[in-house]
Amino acid sequence: EVTAADRSLLSGLRARAGAPDEALAEIEAALREDPSQPDDWVRRGELLEPSDVDQALSSAEACLNLDRQHGEGWALKARCLARLPGREQEALKAATHAVALSAGGWTAIMLKADLQEAVGAFTAAEEGLDRALLAHADNGQLRAAIATRRLERGGLDEAQALLDAVPVGVDHASLHLVEGRLSLARADLIRDGTGAIDGGRLREAGDAIDQALKLDRENGLSWLAMGRVQRLLGDLDAASDSLTRAGRLLDEHLPALCAESALLALENGDDVEAERLTDAADIRGEGALIAYVRGNIAARRGRLEDAIAKYDEALVLDPNHVRARLNRCSAYLGGDLPERALEDAERLLTQAPDLLLARLRRAESKMALTHWNDAVDDLKVIIEAVPNHHHALTQLAACHVALDRPERAEAPLNEALRAAPNHAHAWHQRGLLYLRWERFEEAASDFE
């Protein structure tokens, strides 16, 4: 005869085998025979949690009615309440119980901190995480989660400090993943004046993420991060393969996955597919990343006002989004709004003083405002850092001409053309210079 305990055991086996519907049927049969087992109510709730949060919450309550000290019951209740609007205070009480009973693992600790912030207890949230890390110094997933939280809030140095303090012998795929994401974030802050990202930083990120994948080949977030590294390195086929793997392991509507896939589509010149992917992400609501990608799509189509509006949305949601601010700055320049472009460039340089692309945008904003000498100062900084920066050299020449110093313009234009023989703007500028000097044959040759 099959007992309730047998059905409970069988439910666990079905769940581990990837058959949640069969697992649910078995645990419900067990509870019909013996509804006095708190663990079985928790298992039922965990199986229902992805699809029916109300029923999952009901299971958590049934568990706690039997045993008020059941930590996993409190953890389940906290997760369910956190998904229901206006229930943050109740969710926080449940999460606090779960953490006090050492239940719910590292996810309960992070959920408690998130809920504390949701009710305005910001200091308590950070202090709680610090205490948890001291108590669980060997928990690599907890350390990685806290580092990720600080990284996403712009605390790159704080995230790095957590990784540097990993105890000897502690290793986990998530630690390598956050190390890779940290290298990607640093790369974003040191783009050169052409918009290119430091290849060394990208390779560092790729090495860290590769190590994460060696430890866990089924980590969809690692494949997603690898896809981004490969896209930025220009290996679009490899990026597509990595994102396909990520899509098999993650929710297909995950905003980060949709956004990265959309950016890859834009790299391949397919803005229709990029738009489809961002529409798919809307099932979760439009976050900063999706708004940023929508801005890129609008900019690609020449709709600068729409692009600026989308970058505005992204920056309201995430004021530290470097790429959104950079692209909005460019859109402002394209839309003949140099004062606003200058404001964005100044903000970027405060945030990331080594971001040469922001310095270039500041120089171009000042040129548009006829602040020629200030623009020259910025352009010289860029050229000192990147001597063959053909665009900065060309803009420097334009400044010299505007300042009525044409004799200083020819040398930087020659340098620009040696560095980039296909840079049409430099040929045009030098042709205008030769026209000014009545060197007509040379001017005609340059225009040609």
CA distances to 117, 187, 345, 347 from 329, in Å: 32, 19, 7, 10
Residues 6+ apart with CB under 8 A from 146: 110, 129, 133, 162
Check residue 63 and give its pLDDT: 97
Residue 338: left if φ>0, alpha if ψ -120 to 50, beta else—which one? alpha
Please indicate, yes or no, if residue 318 is contained in any of the structural domains: no
Check residue 1 and give its pLDDT: 78
User: Positive or negative, the Cα torsion across 102, 108, 110, 114?
Assistant: negative
Amino acid at 38: P
Picking from 233, 257, 287, the residue at the C-terminal end of a domain is 233
Please indicate, yes or no, if residue 396 is contained in any of the structural domains: yes
Distance CA 279, CA 336 (A): 30
Token duo for residue 335: 């839309």
Q: Kindly report the CATH number assigned to the domain that includes residue 215.
A: 1.25.40.10
Check residue 354 and give its pLDDT: 85
Check residue 183 and give its pLDDT: 93
Please indicate, yes or no, if residue 30 is contained in any of the structural domains: no
Helices 199-215 and 173-188, axial angle in degrees (round to 10) = 170
- pLDDT digit string (tens) for the chain, length 448 residues: 789 999 999 999 999 998 999 999 999 999 999 999 999 999 999 999 999 999 999 999 999 999 999 999 999 999 999 999 999 999 999 999 999 999 999 999 999 999 999 999 999 999 999 999 999 999 999 999 999 999 988 889 999 999 999 999 999 999 999 999 999 988 887 766 566 677 888 999 999 999 999 999 999 999 999 999 999 999 999 999 999 999 999 988 888 999 999 999 999 999 999 999 888 776 555 688 899 999 999 999 999 999 999 999 999 998 988 899 999 999 999 999 999 999 999 999 998 888 899 999 999 999 999 999 999 999 999 999 889 899 999 999 999 999 999 999 999 999 999 999 999 999 999 999 999 999 999 999 999 9
Token duo for residue 379: 């352009």
Domain count, the chain: 2
Among 421, 396, 423, smallest CA distance to 411 is for 396
Among 139, 134, 71, smallest CA distance to 101 is for 71
Which range marks the domain in which residue 406 is found? 370-447
Please indicate, yes or no, if residue 123 is contained in any of the structural domains: no
Q: Contact, 81 vs 91, CB < 8 A?
A: yes
Picking from 189, 211, 233, the residue at the C-terminal end of a domain is 233
Please indicate, yes or no, if residue 401 is contained in any of the structural domains: yes
Check residue 251 and give its pLDDT: 85
Other C-beta atoms closer than 10 Å to the C-beta of 218 total: 11
Token duo for residue 59: 């299971």
Distance CA 87, CA 92 (A): 9
Residue with the two structure tokens 């992070």: 110
Picking from 198, 233, 268, the residue at the C-terminal end of a domain is 233
Q: Contact, 41 vs 62, CB < 8 A?
A: yes
Please indicate, yes or no, if residue 58 is contained in any of the structural domains: no
Please indicate, yes or no, if residue 405 is contained in any of the structural domains: yes
User: What stretch of H or E contains 420?
Assistant: none
Q: Contact, 151 vs 182, CB < 8 A?
A: yes
Check residue 169 and give its pLDDT: 93
Check residue 284 and give its pLDDT: 56
Check residue 109 and give its pLDDT: 97
Task: Give the pTM.
Answer: 0.79
Distance CA 348, CA 338 (A): 15
